[in-house]
Chains A and B, each alone.
Chain A
Amino acid sequence: MKSGTVWLRSTGIATLLFLYLPIIVLVVFSFNASRLSAQWQGFTWDWYRLLARDASLHAATANSLVVAVISTVLATGLGLAASMGLERLPGSRARHVLEGALLLPLIIPEIMMGVALLLFFVTVKIPLSLTTVILGHTAFNVPVVMVIVRARLRKLDPRLEEAAYDLGASPWQAFRRITWPLLRPGVLGAGLMALTISLDDFIVTFFTAGPGSTTLPLKVYSMIKSGVSPEINALSAILVVLSMGLVALSLALQRR
């Protein structure tokens, strides 16, 4: 039994290292003084300084933030309302169908969603721009918000809301005073998750972005396509820290 435990422990730790080592290597080498070599040549901030001066990167960051914030606000509103609505539909057939249908974007391959949106915008003659990216991001984030908010709703005691109604509260009052305060951490957690996914999305953005609406991941992709460089390492390191921070915050909120 003992040797079995040791074996499990070492494979467990080795697999965890496998998950983290590439990311750690990437971040460490973003501080490497040599441009070409994969050997450590001393510490430098140079690549970060170069990034800071890159105007196209500033534009991409601004675009990413605009898309992420607007699509997150829209998706959180739509997703929260739909989650509350589904909760109010008694275990009917309509609810099962709706549950499945509203979660479908999570299952469909992302590239499928990307090309479908591209064809749609071309067919209805909406020129590709930052707006089309926002419309698409909202669509894939609605189910994300719903999954998290509904998990939270299931933990709520329905009798609390019923008690509010019994005491003469209007639906709005019951929501504002009872449901919302209990739901808030879950909704904030869902919003942060949506924000992270939007900031990280490449494929849907790749198909729906027009000229001048380059986001950070699109910028990273075009940089990677023109070859490995320490600037990409530095930019990657920033993105890693950014998304890890957002996710940590989101998980902490969902636990509350």
Chain B
Amino acid sequence: MKRFDRASAPPDVQSTGRRAAWSLISPAAGWLTVFFFVPLLIVFAVSFAARGTYGGIVWTLSFTNYLDLLHPLYGRIFLQSILFATAATAGCLALGFPLAQYIAKLPAGRQGIWLVLIMIPFWTNFLVRTYAWMFILRAEGLLNSTLQQLGLIQTPIEVLYTDGAVLLGLVYGYLPFMVLPLYVALERIDRSTIDAARDLYASRWAVFRRILLPLAKPGIVAGCILVFIPCLGAFITPDLLGGARSMMIGNLIQHEYLVVRDWPLGSALSFVLMLLVVGAMALYFRTEAKLIGQGRGA
């Protein structure tokens, strides 16, 4: 993230400006306090409460909900979510790196067009994009009917409602998040470094391994975080593309809230999800700080 430090106004404007500044900020800060921070606090508080007989909340202070989360069933879903998110991140990196490198090598004028082309699908309704895969992958869908026409398969193969479909949906949904930061990092690399390595008979693999990879590291880390976090909290993708056993944390939270109506347990789940996300963010900022530190040292 780009730091920005500009003492924009002279001191006399600053002193009167400070009060004006606060009066400009406070409406937005107030809105987010009431409709974001207070609700988060309520989730935290409810995660220690108990479920009433007909749903609802009985205010107690117990760790029962968190202890319930230790049940192997929930453990499996948490682990599965982390695995899905990790695999999707790896998939996005594998697809996104060559694409970002290709865009970074294009003439400056065409780079902008490609970046817009990458962003457009991202701004298309997520439900619609996920539904597109349902349409393609289902038993009577485009994939199966094409394969059958080509004589490659006799009976439709089961692709929709599998873990593979969820993974595909996640990679598809979040690929732009990976490409953009990778592009920013790769675009900055001085091309003459690569030419020098080639002149010294470095193989393409050596150039990738010893030059591109280390120099693109900040972009790789940023892209991975940007993909990992929404994948971890995914709901739509596993809900529409996954089978009964492809449940992720997001589905479990929705299930506890809207189906079982065990709000305290749902709150504990949400809170653990948030801790995982904050943990991933902290890891990101530590790596970023380390990378910047290395950059200064070099």
Q: Do A and B come from one complex?
A: yes
Given A88-B17, A120-B38, are A18 and B133 neighbors across the interface (CB < 8 Å)?
no
Give the residues in chain B near A22, CB-CB below 8 Å. Answer: 129, 132-133, 135-136, 172
A146 to chain B, nearest CB (A): 8
B86 within 8 A of partner (CB) = no
A244 within 8 A of partner (CB) = yes
Give the residues in chain A near B149, CB-CB below 8 Å. Answer: 39
CA distance A221 to B8 in the complex (A): 48
CA distance A29 to B39 in the complex (A): 42
Give the residues in chain B near A139, CB-CB below 8 Å. Answer: 31-32, 35-36
How big is chain B's contact interface, by range?
Answer: 35 or more
CA distance A25 to B95 in the complex (A): 21
A197 to chain B, nearest CB (A): 9
B181 to chain A, nearest CB (A): 15
Give the residues in chain B near A108, CB-CB below 8 Å. Answer: 40, 274, 277
**A244:B123 contact, CB within 8 angstroms:** yes
CA distance A32 to B267 in the complex (A): 45
Stretch at the interface among B64-72, B216-224, B249-257, B288-296: B249-257
Give the residues in chain A near B142, CB-CB below 8 Å. Answer: 25, 29, 38
How big is chain A's contact interface, by range?
Answer: 35 or more
Please name the residue on chain B nearest to A39 by beta carbon: B145
**B120:A244 contact, CB within 8 angstroms:** yes
CA distance A24 to B131 in the complex (A): 12
**B10:A162 contact, CB within 8 angstroms:** yes
Interface of A is mostly: helix
Give the residues in chain A near B281, CB-CB below 8 Å. Answer: 107
**A19:B13 contact, CB within 8 angstroms:** no
Give the residues in chain A near B125, CB-CB below 8 Å. Answer: 200, 202, 217, 220, 236, 239-240, 243
Per-position binary interface string of chain B over residues 148-178, scored 1 when its CB falls under 8 Å from any chain A CB and 0 otherwise: 0100000000000000000000001001100
B226 to chain A, nearest CB (A): 10
**A112:B274 contact, CB within 8 angstroms:** yes
**A16:B99 contact, CB within 8 angstroms:** yes
Please name the residue on chain B nearest to A237 by beta carbon: B128
Per-position binary interface string of chain B over residues 177-215, scored 1 when its CB falls under 8 Å from any chain A CB and 0 otherwise: 000000000000000000000100000100000000000
